[in-house]
């Protein structure tokens, strides 16, 4: 029990100070770890990253780098700074036909820019906060998976002091 408590304190300390580039999954699910609009019965994992927390569906898996989470047909990666630029390429290297949606919302008491680029049916989404300068970004195989990504982005809570 003491070892588990010590591990939790070390993880939280590393996340607040920014010394670690990995995320943890909280063992208990607080009531606030539910996606907007989803039923309370749908459990989600709380993920703690550098400068923020967010939630992912309980059946999602963490990648080896611990910054990327994935489910069926969808991935989400978090980080500091600006989200990576995604190549917008159609079949066999042809130009992609893309439509972009840009939203500005207040999420976690901070202004966030949400983007969804639909390129030939594949979606590239992101959410970016300027203070603190964090992002979540991902790829989705279809519109339903992209909607799920946006719901995940809406669970972000920046940590104090960032």
CATH number, domain with residue 22: 3.40.1000
Number of domains in the chain: 1
pLDDT of residue 6: 38
Give the per-residue pLDDT at 33. Answer: 75
Quote the pLDDT of residue 158.
83
Domain that holds residue 75: 2-158
pLDDT in tens, 73-82: 899 999 998 8
Residues in the chain where the model's pLDDT stays below 50: 1-31, 162
pTM score: 0.73
Q: What is the pLDDT of residue 19?
A: 33
- Residue 39, Cβ density class (10 Å: 0-12 exposed, 13-18 middle, ≥19 buried): exposed
CB 70 within 8 A of CB 61: yes
With beta carbons less than 8 A apart as the criterion, state whether 55 and 35 touch: yes
48 to 15, 87, 120, 125, 147: CA distances (angstroms): 7, 29, 33, 20, 22
């Amino acid at each position: 029990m003491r070892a588990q408590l010590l591990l939790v304190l070390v993880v939280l300390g590393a996340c607040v100070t920014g010394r670690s580039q990995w995320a943890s999954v909280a063992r208990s699910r607080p009531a606030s770890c539910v996606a907007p609009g989803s039923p309370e019965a749908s459990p989600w994992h709380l993920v703690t990253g550098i400068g923020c927390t967010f939630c992912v569906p309980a059946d999602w898996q963490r990648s080896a780098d611990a910054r990327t989470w994935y489910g069926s047909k969808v991935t989400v990666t978090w980080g500091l700074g600006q989200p990576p630029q995604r190549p917008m390429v159609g079949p066999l290297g042809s130009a992609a036909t893309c439509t972009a949606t840009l939203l500005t919302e207040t999420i976690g008491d901070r202004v966030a820019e949400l983007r969804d680029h639909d390129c030939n049916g594949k979606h590239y989404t992101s959410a970016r906060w300027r203070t603190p300068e964090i992002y979540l970004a991902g790829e989705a195989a279809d519109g339903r998976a992209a909607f799920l990504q946006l719901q995940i982005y809406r669970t972000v809570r920046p940590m104090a002091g960032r």
